[in-house]
Structure 1
Amino acid sequence: MIAIHKKTVVIMVGLPARGKSFFASKLMQYLAWLGYRARTFNAGKYRREMLGAESSRSEFFDPANREFREERERIAKLCFRDCLAWLFAEGDIAIYDATNVTQARREYLTGECKRHGYDHVFIESVCDDPVLFSRIVAEKVAYSPDYVGTDEQIAREDFLQRVTHYEGICEPISDDCSYIRIRNFGDHVIKHFLSENDFFNELFSYLKNIRGGKKDVYLSRHGETKFNQEDRIGGDAALTENGKEMARSLAAYFENKDIAIMTSDKMRTKETASFFTQRLEAYAVLDEIRSGVCDSMTYAEIARQYPDIEKARKKDKFNFQYPDGESYHDLIWRVRTAIWEIEAQRRDVLVIGHRAVNRCIYSYFIPTPAVEIPYIDMPLKTVIRIRSHDHPRCTAEVIAV
Structure 2
Amino acid sequence: MLFLSARGFHNTPFFVPRFSRRSRVIQKSGGVCLVAMLGDAVPFPEQVNGRSCSQESKSSHLRGSEKKCSWASYMTNSPTLIVMIGLPARGKTYVSKKLTRYLNWIGVPTKVFNLGVYRREAVKSYQSYDFFRHDNEEAMRIRKHCALVALQDVKVYLMEESGQIAVFDATNTTRERRDMILSFAKENSFKVFFVESVCDDPEVIAANILEVKVSSPDYPERNRENVMDDFLKRIECYKVTYQPLDPVDYDKDLSFIKVINVGQRFLVNRVQDYIQSKIVYYLMNIHVQPRTIYLCRHGESECNLVSKIGGDSGLSPRGKQFAQALKKYIKDQEIVDLKVWTSQLKRTIQTAEALGVPYEQWKILNEIDAGVCEEMTYEEIQRKYPEEFALRDQDKYLYRYPGGESYQDLVQRLEPVIMELERQGNVLVISHQAVMRCLLAYFLDKGADELPYLKCPLHTIFKLTPVAYGCKLEMISLNVDAVDTHRDKPSTMNNLPKSQTPVRLRRNSFTPLASPDTVKRPRNYSVGSKPLNPAGSLLLLEGRNEKDQQKLQDSFQLQVKRAGLGRC
TM class by smaller structure: over 0.9
**In structure 1, what is the Cα distance between the partners aligned to 2:299 and 2:212?**
43
Shift of 1:254: 0.3
Indicate conservation of the 8 Å contact 1:9/1:96, yes or no: yes
Indicate conservation of the 8 Å contact 1:7/1:118, yes or no: yes
Indicate conservation of the 8 Å contact 1:185/1:210, yes or no: no
Q: 1:60 aligns with which of 109, 120, 131?
A: 131
Q: Report the equivalent of 1:184.
A: 261
Asked if 1:269 corresponds to 2:348, the answer is yes
Structure 2 residue identity aligned to 1:45: V
- 1:121-160 paired onto structure 2 within 5 Å: 121-160=193-232
Shift of 1:166: 1.1
Secondary structure at the residue paired with 2:449? helix
Secondary structure at the residue paired with 1:146? coil
Shift of 1:178: 0.5
Structure 2 residue identity aligned to 1:350: L
Q: Report the equivalent of 1:9.
A: 81
Structure 2 residue identity aligned to 1:276: L
Indicate conservation of the 8 Å contact 1:141/1:152, yes or no: no
Secondary structure at the residue paired with 1:163? helix
Q: Report the equivalent of 1:98.
A: 170
**In structure 2, what is the Cα distance between the partners aligned to 1:310 and 1:292?**
13
**In structure 2, what is the Cα distance between the partners aligned to 1:136 and 1:99?**
16
Q: 1:399 aligns with which of 476, 483, 491?
A: 476
Shift of 1:325: 1.4
- 1:26-45 paired onto structure 2 within 5 Å: 26-45=98-117
Indicate conservation of the 8 Å contact 2:214/2:227, yes or no: no
**In structure 1, what is the Cα distance between the partners aligned to 2:284 and 2:295?**
23
**In structure 1, what is the Cα distance between the partners aligned to 2:99 and 2:193?**
13
**In structure 2, what is the Cα distance between the partners aligned to 1:71 and 1:49?**
11
Q: Report the equivalent of 2:391.
A: 312
**In structure 2, what is the Cα distance between the partners aligned to 1:288 and 1:22?**
32
Structure 2 residue identity aligned to 1:80: L
Name whichever structure is richer in helix by fraction: 1
Indicate conservation of the 8 Å contact 1:234/1:290, yes or no: yes
Q: TM-score, normalised by structure 2?
A: 0.67
Q: Report the equivalent of 1:21.
A: 93
Structure 1 residue identity aligned to 2:373: C
Q: Report the equivalent of 2:241.
A: 169
**In structure 1, what is the Cα distance between the partners aligned to 2:75 and 2:439?**
22
| C-alpha spacing 1:187/1:268, structure 2 compared with 1 (3 Å) | farther
Shift of 1:236: 2.3
Q: Report the equivalent of 2:377.
A: 298
Indicate conservation of the 8 Å contact 1:217/1:386, yes or no: yes
Secondary structure at the residue paired with 1:6? coil
**Identity score, percent:** 37
Secondary structure at the residue paired with 1:145? coil
Shift of 1:116: 0.5
**In structure 2, what is the Cα distance between the partners aligned to 1:313 and 1:321?**
8
Q: TM-score, normalised by structure 1?
A: 0.93
Pairwise CA RMSD of aligned residues? 1.8
Once the two structures are superposed, residues 331-359 of structure 1 have per-residue CA deviations (whole angstroms, 9 ceiling, x without a partner) of 122212211221222x3321101000101
Structure 2 residue identity aligned to 1:263: T
Asked if 1:87 corresponds to 2:165, the answer is no
Asked if 1:227 corresponds to 2:303, the answer is yes
Secondary structure at the residue paired with 2:75? coil
Structure 2 residue identity aligned to 1:216: T
Structure 2 residue identity aligned to 1:201: S
More off after superposition, 41-50 vs 167-176? 167-176
Q: Report the equivalent of 2:9.
A: none
- 1:321-340 paired onto structure 2 within 5 Å: 321-340=400-419
**In structure 1, what is the Cα distance between the partners aligned to 2:393 and 2:244?**
54
The number of residues matched between the two structures is 397
More off after superposition, 371-380 vs 12-21? 371-380
Shift of 1:224: 2.3
Q: Report the equivalent of 1:248.
A: 324
**In structure 2, what is the Cα distance between the partners aligned to 1:190 and 1:239?**
49
- 1:370-385 paired onto structure 2 within 5 Å: 370-385=448-463
Once the two structures are superposed, residues 349-389 of structure 1 have per-residue CA deviations (whole angstroms, 9 ceiling, x without a partner) of 21101000101111112233422222222121111122321
Shift of 1:213: 4.4
Q: Report the equivalent of 1:72.
A: 143
Structure with larger RCO (C-alpha < 8 A, sep 6+)? 1
| C-alpha spacing 1:371/1:65, structure 2 compared with 1 (3 Å) | closer
Asked if 1:108 corresponds to 2:188, the answer is no
Indicate conservation of the 8 Å contact 1:9/1:118, yes or no: yes
Shift of 1:3: 2.3
| C-alpha spacing 1:372/1:67, structure 2 compared with 1 (3 Å) | closer
Structure 1: where are the runs of 5+ without partners? none
More off after superposition, 36-45 vs 290-299? 290-299
Indicate conservation of the 8 Å contact 1:218/1:349, yes or no: yes
Shift of 1:164: 0.9
**In structure 1, what is the Cα distance between the partners aligned to 2:265 and 2:370?**
40
Once the two structures are superposed, residues 202-259 of structure 1 have per-residue CA deviations (whole angstroms, 9 ceiling, x without a partner) of 1122222222244322211112222222222222223334322221211211014222
**In structure 2, what is the Cα distance between the partners aligned to 1:285 and 1:207?**
22
**In structure 1, what is the Cα distance between the partners aligned to 2:306 and 2:270?**
53
Indicate conservation of the 8 Å contact 2:253/2:270, yes or no: no
Indicate conservation of the 8 Å contact 1:210/1:344, yes or no: yes
More off after superposition, 300-309 vs 248-257? 300-309
Structure 2 residue identity aligned to 1:243: G
Shift of 1:97: 0.4
Q: 1:354 aligns with which of 421, 432, 437?
A: 432
